[in-house]
């Protein structure tokens, strides 16, 4: 037995890529959210440019507002074109008898592991857009300063089943989740 093997606990909780992908429908949800965000960013400056243009007030400002609108729209559309598929390739999850594994992010990617003994609460979230796509988010709160683990884009029924399974499993694990 090597020193490294001796230093490992009996339950080997190595940081590794989780096995399961989120639902493919999450791509459509993330695309719609990105489009809404782009519209909410670009529309106010476009409205201001139109309003100032109608009253012929400060013509140079109208040009600046249109430039800002075009830049916001271009950046938003570029993010919308790339982010959802990229994020889908990264987002993964797995629940074992010992821990919850997650991988998330798209520009800043994060792998996390939470032993069942550290889990304090398990929640599911379903906003209006998620409900429209039949999706849900699972949030696992731990005693970690890094914050909760969150898996976006799960099938709503699967997320509910996982919440029940994790709640039951954490009750069976000794420890106080601190």
pLDDT grade for 178, boundaries at 50, 70 and 90: low
**Inter-axis angle of helices 25-54 and 59-90, nearest 10:** 180
175 & 98 share domain: yes
Instruction: Please give the residue range of the domain that contains residue 122.
Output: 91-178
pLDDT by residue (tens digit) across 55-104? 988 899 999 999 999 999 999 999 999 999 999 999 999 999 889 999 99
Cα angle: 67, vertex 70, 73; to 5 degrees? 150
| pTM, full prediction | 0.82
Q: For residues 65 and 52, what is the distance between their CA atoms, to the nearest angstrom?
A: 10
**Number of folded domains in the chain?**
2
Inside any domain, residue 39: yes
Spatial contact of 133 and 29, defined as CB atoms under 8 Å apart: yes
**Residues 50 and 115 grouped into a single domain:** no
| Cα separation, 21 vs 18, whole angstroms | 8
3-state secondary structure of 123: strand
């Amino acid at each position: 037995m090597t020193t490294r093997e001796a230093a490992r606990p009996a339950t080997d909780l190595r940081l590794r890529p989780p096995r399961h992908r989120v639902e493919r429908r999450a791509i459509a949800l993330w695309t719609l959210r990105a489009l809404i965000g782009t519209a909410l960013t670009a529309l106010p400056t476009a409205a201001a440019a139109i309003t100032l243009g109608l009253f012929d007030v400060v013509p140079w400002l109208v040009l600046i507002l249109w430039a800002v609108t075009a830049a916001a729209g271009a950046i938003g559309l570029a993010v919308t074109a790339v982010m959802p598929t990229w994020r889908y390739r990264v987002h993964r999850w797995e629940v074992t008898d010992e821990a919850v594994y997650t991988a998330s992010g798209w520009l800043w990617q994060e792998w996390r592991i939470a032993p069942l003994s550290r889990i304090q609460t398990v929640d599911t979230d379903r906003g209006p857009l998620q409900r429209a796509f039949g999706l849900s988010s699972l949030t696992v709160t731990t005693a970690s300063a890094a914050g909760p683990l969150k898996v976006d884009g799960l099938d709503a029924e699967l997320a509910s089943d996982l919440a029940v399974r994790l709640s039951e499993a954490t009750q069976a694990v000794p420890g106080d989740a601190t």
